[in-house]
Amino acid sequence: MAVPEKAATRPGGRRRPGPARRPRPGEDRLRETTVRWLADRGVSLEDIGNIVLEIQAPFYDSLTLNECVESVNRVIDKREVQHAVITGIALDILAEQGKLPEPLQGTIIRDDSLFGIDEVLALSITNVYGSIGLTNFGYLDKVKLGVIARLNGRGPHCHTFLDDLVAGIAAAAAARIAHTRGHD
């Protein structure tokens, strides 16, 4: 006998724990696009995992790169993260191509210090795992570890959004590890 739809949800419309839901049409494609766009801009999930390992290893002796990359994957699985990443990368690309209206075009190309929208977009990623993610992001935005330093440097490509988005993903993945591992 089929369970009525109302019985399958909690008050407020939240689903009850149970078998994993099937992806909606286009969800897998959105995730694939996100990972491909990161790779096209020179960022692998392993690059981000290395950042996670560097900031979390002092707290967890047995932490591995594989565990960090898995945490990065879980963060990238979230649709709100995918949307933030593709939005930021699209704006970087449009700025490279000179296709944004002024004064936005110049602001993004120069990565003006008072333009904080790139950080705000990245903070939408860190908020997925709470205040630990926010603290991690602040640290990464300041010290610019690993691939973040390369993205933040001047070069042929505009990475005004991407450096902060990578920091946001790494910060959220590190926070996820802290939440799931607790105190080892």
Q: What is the pLDDT of residue 23?
A: 56
As a whole number of angstroms, the distance between CA 59 and CA 4 comes to 47
Encode pLDDT of 25-81 as tens digits.
Answer: 666 899 999 999 999 999 999 999 999 999 999 999 999 999 999 999 999 999 999
Encode pLDDT of 114-128 as tens digits.
Answer: 999 999 999 999 998
Domains of the chain: 28-34+41-181 (1.10.3760.10)
Encode pLDDT of 92-150 as tens digits.
Answer: 999 999 999 999 999 999 999 999 999 999 999 999 888 999 999 999 999 999 999 99
Asked if 157 and 51 count as a contact pair (C-beta separation under 8 A), the reply is: no
Q: How far, rounded to the nearest angstrom, does the alpha carbon of residue 2 sit from its chain's CA centroid?
A: 39
Reading the block at residue 120, the tokens are 């705000």
Q: What is the mean pLDDT of residues 2-11?
A: 42
Quote the percentage of the chain above a pLDDT of 90: 78
In one letter, which amino acid is 139?
A: Y
- Average per-residue pLDDT in the chain? 88
The DSSP 8-state label assigned to residue 102 in this structure reads T
Q: Which of 73, 72, 53 is nearest to 64 (CA)?
A: 53
